[in-house]
């Protein structure tokens, strides 16, 4: 059986890894007024954040249409027997359900859809693990079983500069956003059961990042941390600094830099930072 691996654009997997593992992608989009831009296709992260700064209103986001997903699956059906399709949390986007609907319309390829219950490069972890298992000739059922078990190994914490984006997008309650802005709090957020929730309220960016690093250090001391990703919303310098400091202490652990692209950037806002890792 020839198996493809597919995800959506919110995984923000480094391009060299996308090419290495032949990962297929359906893009989500951001909408400025009447203009629709597919992320990773029509607009780069840098162009997006510049456009947000110049726009009076925040953009909205849009999941792939069922038709887009059908087109992608029909393309894959020419060369593959099955596809493992791994997507952003169904609590944050309708992408997963759109792909399932598309799979019911396309013949000649068996769709195995998986709700990662997460996003950004944490979603990318699931995609890369699936791609490696395909190389090992695992069956789709074996891969899905592994992905369900993999949930407990992934950790993702992030902080935002401004809670208003999450508030307006309905991803965090208005009361929480009001309290955060009033007290100048930098909340640490995480994703639980697919939803973005506050983890702790910290006064400064420096202390918030240190708290996340302390959580990472706790796992390093008690488990085997396989990979760490430093992720940013148009603030690569900050992510690189975090990576450099971490590598000085733990040169044995593999690290990556990733980013929050237009869709997640719409909800998190410019300047957001995150640290993601998974354990053995």
SS3 string, the chain, reads: CCEEEEEEHHHCCCHHHHHHCCEEEECCEEEECCEEEEECCCECHHHHHHHHHHCCCCCEEECCCHHHHHHHHHHHHCCCCEEEEEECCCCCCCHHHHHHHHHCCCCCCEEEEEECCCCHHHHHHHHHHHHHHHHCCCCHHHHHHHHHHHHHHEEEEEECCCCHHHHHCCCCCHHHHHHHHHCCCEEEEEEECCEEEEEEEECCHHHHHHHHHHHHHHHHHHCCEEEEEEEECCCHHHHHHHHHHHHHHCCCCEEEEEECCHHHHHHHCCCCEEEEEEEC
Give the global pTM.
0.92
According to the model, what pLDDT value does residue 162 have?
67
Q: Could you give the count of Cα atoms lying within 13 Å of 264 in the half-sphere of its Cβ?
A: 30
Q: What is the mean pLDDT of residues 241-262?
A: 96
What residues form DSSP beta bridges with 19? none
Q: What is the mean pLDDT of residues 138-158?
A: 96
Residue 257 region by backbone torsions, left for phi larger than 0, else alpha for psi between -120 and 50, else beta: beta
196-235: pLDDT as tens digits: 888 888 888 899 999 999 999 999 999 999 999 999 999 9
- Which stretch of 62-71, 122-131, 153-162 has the lowest confidence by average pLDDT? 153-162
Domain ranges for the chain: 3-151, 153-279
Joined together, the tokens standing for residue 53 give 């700064």
174-194: pLDDT as tens digits: 456 555 565 667 788 888 888
Residue 195 confidence class, pLDDT cut points 50, 70, 90: confident
In the CATH hierarchy, which fold is given to the domain comprising 153-279?
Hypothetical Protein Tm841; Chain: A;domain 3 (3.30.1180)
Residue in 137, 114, 108, 136 with CA at minimum distance from that of residue 126: 114
d(CA 88, CA 248) in angstroms, rounded, equals 32
Q: At the top level of CATH, which class does the domain 3-151 belong to? A: alpha beta
According to the model, what pLDDT value does residue 193 have?
86
According to the model, what pLDDT value does residue 161 have?
74
* The pLDDT of residue 131 is above 60: yes
């Amino acid at each position: 059986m020839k198996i493809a691996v597919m995800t959506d654009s919110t995984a923000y997997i480094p391009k060299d890894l996308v090419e290495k593992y032949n990962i297929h992608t359906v893009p989500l989009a951001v909408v400025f007024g009447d203009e629709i831009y597919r992320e990773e296709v029509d607009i780069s992260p840098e162009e997006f954040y510049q456009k947000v700064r110049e726009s009076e209103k925040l953009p909205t986001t849009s999941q792939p249409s069922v038709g887009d997903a059908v087109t992608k699956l029909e393309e894959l059906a020419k060369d593959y027997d099955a596809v493992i399709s791994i997507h952003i949390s169904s609590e944050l986007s309708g992408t997963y359900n759109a792909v399932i609907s598309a799979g019911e319309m396309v013949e000649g390829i068996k769709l195995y859809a998986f709700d990662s219950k997460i996003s950004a490069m944490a979603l990318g972890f699931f995609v890369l693990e699936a791609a490696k298992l395909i190389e090992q000739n695992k069956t789709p059922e074996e891969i899905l079983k592994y992905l369900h078990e993999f949930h407990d190994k992934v950790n993702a914490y992030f902080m935002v500069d401004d809670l208003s984006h999450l508030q307006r997008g309905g991803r965090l309650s208005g009361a929480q956003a009001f309290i955060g802005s009033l007290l100048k709090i930098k909340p640490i957020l995480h994703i639980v059961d697919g939803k973005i929730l506050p983890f702790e309220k910290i006064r400064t960016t420096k202390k918030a990042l240190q708290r996340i690093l302390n959580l990472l250090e706790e796992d390093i001391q008690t488990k085997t941390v396989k990979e760490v990703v430093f992720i940013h919303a148009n603030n690569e310098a900050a992510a690189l600094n975090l990576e450099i400091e971490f590598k000085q202490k733990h040169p044995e652990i593999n690290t990556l830099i990733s980013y929050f692209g237009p869709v997640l950037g719409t909800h998190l806002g410019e300047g957001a930072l995150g640290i993601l890792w998974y354990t053995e």
